[in-house]
Chains A and B, each alone.
Chain A
Amino acid sequence: MLKKLTPYLNSLPALILISLIILFPIGYTFYISITNMNIFNWFEFNVVGLVNYERALFVLDSGFFRAAFITLIWTGLNMVLQLLIAFIIASLLNHRDIQLKGLYKTLLLIPWAIPGYVSILLWRTGMFNTQFGLLNQWLRAFNVAPVQWLSTEWLAFTSMLVVNLWLALPFMIMIMDGALQSIDRSYYEALKLDSNSIIKKARFVTIPLMKPAITPAVIITLFTTFKQFDVVYLMILQPGQRTGADIQTIITYAYENAFITNNYGYSSAISVIIFIILIVFVLATNRDLRSEKND
């Protein structure tokens, strides 16, 4: 009996911690979502049922669907570019002729070491600022008119994409680098008998053998990119510092249409709805990745 219980007892501290850190906030958010917690009932709120969910559906208007569409494009583009660029960089880092690999790897990890908040504001003010940003200083040096990088939709979207890639690539490069190093060289040597093509090496050896290692990283990145808040909010949506680009993701849209009301019941209902959308999205993606793996 004790032998059977031992694994559970061993993992109990970790399970309690996980419950406190992850499950409790989710459960508590759901509880708040069925109460009337707002500034008029801040500490003495009551359960009111699904009233907040009825009201939350009003947030799912045309603005929300536009934000959802932008979020999908944002997530898709980020994933494709991250995988592609990280694969190229990781492959170059694993080339046998390359020198100072350790130095390059350390340099590539720098964006990860800087707090995201600081990085984003540095990009916003140091690179994209219309008056003082480095990009416009370069343009002026070539007598080209300065560009308002964050004021129009397409330019702002592209600028934010660059910042997000800068922030996210170290993680993907590190995972891919590890996955590449785990591939046995004998597979390449076996393929050499048939062909020496780089594309064939990638298609028949590298990518299939990397897939199991990078799938969890892809899922984590999908999750974080889909619910991205900081890059979009800090770059173009800060109160009093908006730049004119009309871009919202579902999280920033929900924030601007619910959280500022100080109505936590209502805001929590919106959070739960977004949480469900996210879970569905991730489950669907996970299923696709698994079916590809089985194929």
Chain B
Amino acid sequence: MSRKILMISYLLLFTSMLYACNSSNNSESEFIIWHDKEDIVANLIDESLSTAFPDVEFKLVRRESLTETLKLVGNNPSTAPDMYMFAHDKVGLFAEIGILAPITDFISREALDDYYPFTLEAATYQETLYQLPLYFETLLFMYNRDRLNAEDVPQTTDDLLVYMQQNTDARRYAFVEQHSNAYYSAGWIHGFGGRLLDQNGMPMLDDEKTIEALDYHLQFLDYMPVGQAEYATVNTLFYERQANSIIGGPWMVPTARERGIDLGFAPMPIVNETGLPLSPYAGIQGLHVLKVAVDTPEKKALIQDILLHLTDPTLSIELALASGSAPAQVSAYSDPLIQENELVMAMRNAAENAIPMPNVPEMDILWVTANDFLVNVNLQGKDLREAAQEAQNRTLELIDAME
């Protein structure tokens, strides 16, 4: 009996080892695309590609830790996908790791003439384009029309402060935002002419404009929830009608509408001192091709056809109407359905001032150090200049440790 169990153990062990060695993700007729999007987006892409290429079996696989998984298997032909869909901000990281194929290896620059230049610039790392943009997203100034009339929406940041002072009480906030999150604070810093990273990839946390922006912003904190002011809390305050207005992403819109909120969209307030609007980051979502996918001339031809098919704005329009994002192609905005869609048009208008997230690998560090800097200043009340200097030094040390 024990001999049988032993034999079974050996068999199981070696079978699983052999399976692990030989397991393959891809078969000849399959085309695998990893993504981290909601089902509606994945289904529309699947439908569009499957209709255009009926002989190919497309598999859109949702991966929660997409970027971490790609780091590990991005160069393994048996486990890596053929393409992945994600925001442009990881382009630099994956280009440095060496797993991305340039988009211009497959299609010409002329095929991209219809795209908003900023979407292509955002996906370009060291003068090479690594993403075919589909749509873009940015933060919006949203308000509850039942609580705030369109004509009373603050036009400037000083107006916003006055509005908050007059309308915030124990039961309700006039305005909320994730004030100690770098993604949200970047809009204020940009509004003062500052940046988190300069064009050469140098951190600018101790820059005078950054300090000026955060110093000015401190007075707004008296009228916003302190302590936990993260995604869930801030959004719930708006959904529960305990906040009249918010700076939030388009992903909030479906839930807000489901809760019966009469949603209004307004331009970002203008900073009185600089005359610039609050300018949040924009994220460009699109498809990236993995080097390991291009293993045969036939596969290269297929990828070329897929990318060319996706340059047509039809899919981007469908995605925009379904998910409230803004198409990356200029011609998409001639579509009457797009023109009638308040959210999509608000997004496009906001994108005129939005700044694409930097795509350099150093941003991974900056998200952490900038967030810590904001917490030190906004929540722990540390001296702004000292905290800025400390954050700048730490960022430089960590960037140095990347190599």
Chain A residues near B (Cβ < 8 Å): 9-10, 12-14, 16-17, 38-40, 42-43, 55, 125, 128-132, 148, 150-151, 238-244, 246, 256-258, 260-263, 266
**Cβ distance A287 to chain B, nearest Cβ, rounded Å:** 35
Cα–Cα, bound, A239→B225 (Å): 18
Q: Which of A128, A242, A261 contacts B398 (CB 8 A)?
A: A261
Chain B residues closer than 8 Å to A256, beta-carbon distance:
368, 372
CB nearest to B2 among chain A residues = A10
Question: What 19 additional pairs, Cβ within 8 angstroms, besides A238-B230, A240-B183?
Answer: A13-B13, A16-B13, A125-B232, A130-B226, A130-B233, A132-B236, A148-B228, A240-B180, A240-B231, A240-B371, A241-B181, A241-B230, A243-B228, A243-B379, A261-B401, A262-B93, A262-B361, A262-B402, A263-B403
Chain B residues closer than 8 Å to A246, beta-carbon distance:
380
Cα–Cα, bound, A72→B31 (Å): 51
Q: Does B210 count as interface, using CB distance less than 8 angstroms? A: no
Chain B residues closer than 8 Å to A258, beta-carbon distance:
401
Chain B residues closer than 8 Å to A244, beta-carbon distance:
227, 375, 379-380
Given contacts A130-B227, A151-B227, A242-B371, is CB(A9)–CB(B180) below 8 Å? no
Cα–Cα, bound, A13→B11 (Å): 10
Cα–Cα, bound, A125→B230 (Å): 10
Q: Does B10 count as interface, using CB distance less than 8 angstroms? A: yes
Given contacts A131-B237, A244-B227, is CB(A262)–CB(B364) below 8 Å? yes
Q: Which of A12, A151, A238 contacts B226 (CB 8 A)?
A: A151
In the complex, 6 of the A-B residue pairs with CB atoms within 8 angstroms, ordered by the A residue number, are A10-B6, A38-B402, A42-B71, A42-B96, A241-B228, A243-B227
Q: Which of B2, B182, B225 contacts A130 (CB 8 A)?
A: B225
Chain B residues closer than 8 Å to A262, beta-carbon distance:
71, 93, 361, 364, 402
Cα–Cα, bound, A117→B267 (Å): 38
**Cβ distance B183 to chain A, nearest Cβ, rounded Å:** 7
Cα–Cα, bound, A246→B230 (Å): 17
Q: Are A242 and B233 in contact (CB under 8 A)?
A: no
When each residue 218-257 of chain B gets 1 if its CB lies under 8 Å from chain A and 0 otherwise, what string results? 0000000111101111001100001000000000000000
Chain A residues closer than 8 Å to B183, beta-carbon distance:
240
Q: Are A242 and B401 in contact (CB under 8 A)?
A: no
Q: Are A263 and B228 in contact (CB under 8 A)?
A: no
Q: Are A39 and B96 in contact (CB under 8 A)?
A: yes
Q: Does B118 count as interface, using CB distance less than 8 angstroms? A: no
Chain A residues closer than 8 Å to B372, beta-carbon distance:
242, 256
**Cβ distance A167 to chain B, nearest Cβ, rounded Å:** 21
Cα–Cα, bound, A125→B226 (Å): 15
Q: Which 6 A-B pairs have the closest CB atoms?
A: A244-B379, A241-B230, A148-B227, A240-B181, A13-B9, A42-B97
Chain A residues closer than 8 Å to B237, beta-carbon distance:
131
Name, among B12, B242, B398, the residue most crowded by chain A CB atoms within 10 Å (CB to CB).
B398
Q: Which of A16, A17, A151 contacts B379 (CB 8 A)?
A: A151
Q: Are B379 and A241 in contact (CB under 8 A)?
A: no
Given contacts A43-B75, A260-B368, is CB(A130)–CB(B402) below 8 Å? no
Q: Does B161 count as interface, using CB distance less than 8 angstroms? A: no
When each residue 348-369 of chain B gets 1 if its CB lies under 8 Å from chain A and 0 otherwise, what string results? 0000000000000100110110
Q: Are B182 and A240 in contact (CB under 8 A)?
A: yes
Q: Does B178 count as interface, using CB distance less than 8 angstroms? A: yes
Cα–Cα, bound, A258→B182 (Å): 20
Q: Does B98 count as interface, using CB distance less than 8 angstroms? A: yes
Residues in B116-138 with C-beta less than 8 Å from chain A: none
**Cβ distance A269 to chain B, nearest Cβ, rounded Å:** 11
Chain B residues closer than 8 Å to A266, beta-carbon distance:
401
Chain B residues closer than 8 Å to A263, beta-carbon distance:
401-403
Q: Are B365 and A260 in contact (CB under 8 A)?
A: yes
Cα–Cα, bound, A188→B93 (Å): 67
Cα–Cα, bound, A213→B239 (Å): 52
Q: Are A131 and B368 in contact (CB under 8 A)?
A: no
Chain A residues closer than 8 Å to B231, beta-carbon distance:
240-241
CB nearest to B95 among chain A residues = A39
Chain B residues closer than 8 Å to A130, beta-carbon distance:
225-228, 233
Cα–Cα, bound, A43→B227 (Å): 42
Q: Are A9 and B233 in contact (CB under 8 A)?
A: no
Chain A residues closer than 8 Å to B182, beta-carbon distance:
240
Cα–Cα, bound, A131→B238 (Å): 12
Q: Are B228 and A129 in contact (CB under 8 A)?
A: yes
Residues in B1-45 with C-beta less than 8 Å from chain A: 2, 6, 9-10, 12-13
Chain B residues closer than 8 Å to A16, beta-carbon distance:
13
Cα–Cα, bound, A256→B364 (Å): 11
Q: Are B13 and A240 in contact (CB under 8 A)?
A: no
Q: Are B375 and A131 in contact (CB under 8 A)?
A: no
Residues in B158-217 with C-beta less than 8 Å from chain A: 178, 180-183
Chain A residues closer than 8 Å to B365, beta-carbon distance:
260-261
Q: Are A39 and B97 in contact (CB under 8 A)?
A: yes
**Cβ distance A101 to chain B, nearest Cβ, rounded Å:** 36
Chain B residues closer than 8 Å to A39, beta-carbon distance:
93, 96-97, 361, 402
CB nearest to B379 among chain A residues = A244
Q: Which of A13, A17, A151, A261 contacts B6 (CB 8 A)?
A: A13
Given contacts A39-B361, A246-B380, is CB(A239)–CB(B371) below 8 Å? yes
Chain B residues closer than 8 Å to A14, beta-carbon distance:
9
Q: Are B401 and A40 in contact (CB under 8 A)?
A: no
**Cβ distance B155 to chain A, nearest Cβ, rounded Å:** 28
Cα–Cα, bound, A128→B232 (Å): 13
Q: Are A240 and B178 in contact (CB under 8 A)?
A: yes
**Cβ distance A66 to chain B, nearest Cβ, rounded Å:** 15
Q: Are A129 and B233 in contact (CB under 8 A)?
A: yes
Cα–Cα, bound, A239→B367 (Å): 7
Chain A residues closer than 8 Å to B9, beta-carbon distance:
13-14
Cα–Cα, bound, A43→B98 (Å): 8
**Cβ distance B235 to chain A, nearest Cβ, rounded Å:** 11
**Cβ distance B392 to chain A, nearest Cβ, rounded Å:** 16
CB nearest to A17 among chain B residues = B13
